[in-house]
Amino acid sequence: MTFRKTAGAILAGLTLFTAAAQAAEVTRVVSAFDDENGFDVNLTASWLHEAKSALIKRESESAATSGEIGVLPDFKYAQTRDLLNLRLDFGVLWDVGLHVQAPLVLADSNTVTLDSGVSADNAAFLQSPSASGSQVFKSPTRSGFQDLGLGVTWAVFNQRRDDTKPTWTLGFDANLDVFKDMRFDPANPGGNQATGLGYHQLIWSTWVSKRFRHFDPYFGASYMLPIRTNGSIFQNYSPATQTSVNPQQQAAVTIGVEEIAWENPRGDQRVTIEARGHLEEHFAGRGYSELWEPLSGSPNCTVTGTGTACRPDLDVGTDAQGNPAAAPYPGVTNIDAYGSFGGDLGLNIQVGRYIRFRGLFGLTVDAPHFITNANAGVDTNHDGVVNSLDKAEANPVYRESIDSPGRRFYVEQSEIWSLLIEGSLMF
């Protein structure tokens, strides 16, 4: 989901390293074999709180104007998430450090409610047993470890060692999906409260900072490549006709500055005020949208694709012979490419050589985008039409009820407010 992808980008950007009088927080680096300190070790705990809101709209041919399909209000989305990130950094070579981190989701829940003036009939296939009134869906409260992160950071240049050069770091992180993956069963809403994403994340990043008297500007860039895990919700049901299989990739850039408000170099003490802006690009691909849980089908929908456990418009696909058959909808959808932008304002306090605190408050806004936009399939016989009953042409994850132009879901006014507080012990 956007929310999780936005949370993963913030934590990757707040890299925590040892104290250095001439380095922005994002370019701190642990080291080893220095004369004054044989091996650096940092222990860090970060608490991240996020609150997201968004409007979910839907295309409507009845609202078409000037020949274009209209978009009408449908739902309001709200989500809150609290995450505790535990991290260990240790130096292994000169300006080279390894780190291990384990993000623990303390609580993650969301609700979907009807927008003003919208009929409950519009949400018939989204309703959950726990919903009531204008609320059409209420998720379980998820918690647990999300993944296991392993990484390395190398300071190619270090201003602390040579003040004629900037501090420049290169990093690589592998966030491994080793815990239980998220699932949702409308017949058993609380049966799965896991937080695993169903894919590994490989992240390459670089940061550059250069202090000038009381100001320390910095720049960072990163790229995240997802790798699907075996048995995850991101399945390749048909290599020939499923036009999108992999989770969304992501790239990000950050520009910021720290203003040194107060400093005592002898006591390894300082206070800095930090401001930064960031821009992310979420590439088109499969993902956890704001509606992934309400759209998930029940595994009890089997054999013929009929009965109370099956929703005719969502849970019925085609079998190997091209005949209608039960196919519980996986929940994850084809999401269009979109951008996110935002900023953070914070305060960094280094109490002394061994203790450091940090706080950041920020806002991220997602550009409007479609969250259900699968292609119908592949026109293999070149007759200009994709036959939904032909297994050689039909996309197995395409559903006309939500993916066809005129019926697609659309998200706009998506905002994420965040607060991060962290503390580090540095040895």
Q: Is the residue at 310 inside a domain?
A: no
pLDDT digits (tens, 9 = 90+) for 371-389: 999 999 999 999 999 988 7
Q: What is the pLDDT of residue 3?
A: 47
CA angle 26/283/217 to nearest 5° reads: 20
DSSP state of 27: G
Question: Which distant-in-sequence residues (6+ apart) come within 8 Å of 74 by Cβ?
Answer: 56, 57, 58, 114, 115, 118, 122, 123, 409
Residue 99 structure tokens = 């780190």
Consecutive H or E run containing 87: strand 68-93
Q: How many CB atoms lie within 10 A of CB 202?
A: 15
Residue 31 structure tokens = 């080291």
Banded pLDDT at 427 (limits 50, 70, 90):
very high
| Domain CATH for 285 | 2.40.160.40
CA angle 212/359/99 to nearest 5° reads: 85
Banded pLDDT at 322 (limits 50, 70, 90):
low
- Range(s) of the domain holding residue 96: 2-296+331-373+408-426
- Which residue, among 414, 411, 332, 404, has the nearest Cα to 370 in the 3D structure? 411
Give CA–CA dist 221/129, Å, rounded.
44
The residue whose two tokens read 């300006």 is: 95
Q: Is the residue at 391 inside a domain?
A: no
Question: Which distant-in-sequence residues (6+ apart) come within 8 Å of 368 by Cβ?
Answer: 338, 410, 411, 412, 413, 414
pLDDT digits (tens, 9 = 90+) for 237-293: 888 999 999 999 999 999 999 999 999 999 999 999 999 999 999 999 999 999 999
Banded pLDDT at 310 (limits 50, 70, 90):
confident
The DSSP annotation for 262-331 comes to EEEGGGTEEEEEEEEEEEEEE-SEEE--TTHHHHPPPTT--TTS-STT--TTTSEEE-TTS-EEE----S
Banded pLDDT at 199 (limits 50, 70, 90):
very high
Q: In the predicted model, is pLDDT for residue 340 greater than 80?
A: yes
% of the chain with per-residue pLDDT over 90: 73
Q: Is the residue at 381 inside a domain?
A: no
For the chain, helix (H) and strand (E) counts, in that order, are: 3, 19
For residue 204, which amino acid is it?
Answer: W
Give CA–CA dist 365/388, Å, rounded.
37
End-to-end CA distance of the chain: 37
Q: What is the pLDDT of residue 312?
A: 76
Q: Is the residue at 83 inside a domain?
A: yes
Q: Is the residue at 402 inside a domain?
A: no
Q: Is the residue at 128 inside a domain?
A: yes
The residue whose two tokens read 């699968």 is: 374
Number of structural domains, the chain?
1
pLDDT digits (tens, 9 = 90+) for 343-353: 999 999 999 99
pLDDT digits (tens, 9 = 90+) for 39-90: 999 999 999 999 999 999 999 877 666 667 888 899 999 999 999 999 999 9
pLDDT digits (tens, 9 = 90+) for 98-138: 999 999 999 999 999 999 888 777 776 676 656 667 899 99
Q: What is the pLDDT of residue 7?
A: 45
Helix (H, G, I), strand (E, B) or coil at 246: coil
Q: What is the pLDDT of residue 8?
A: 46
Give CA–CA dist 371/1, Å, rounded.
10
Rounded-to-5 percentages of helix, strand, coil across the chain? 5, 50, 40
Question: Which distant-in-sequence residues (6+ apart) come within 8 Å of 383 by Cβ?
Answer: none
Q: What is the pLDDT of residue 4?
A: 47
b (16+ CB within 10 A) / e for 44-53:
bebebebebe
Q: Is the residue at 394 inside a domain?
A: no
Q: Is the residue at 398 inside a domain?
A: no
Give CA–CA dist 285/269, Å, rounded.
46
**Residues for the chain: how many in total?**
427
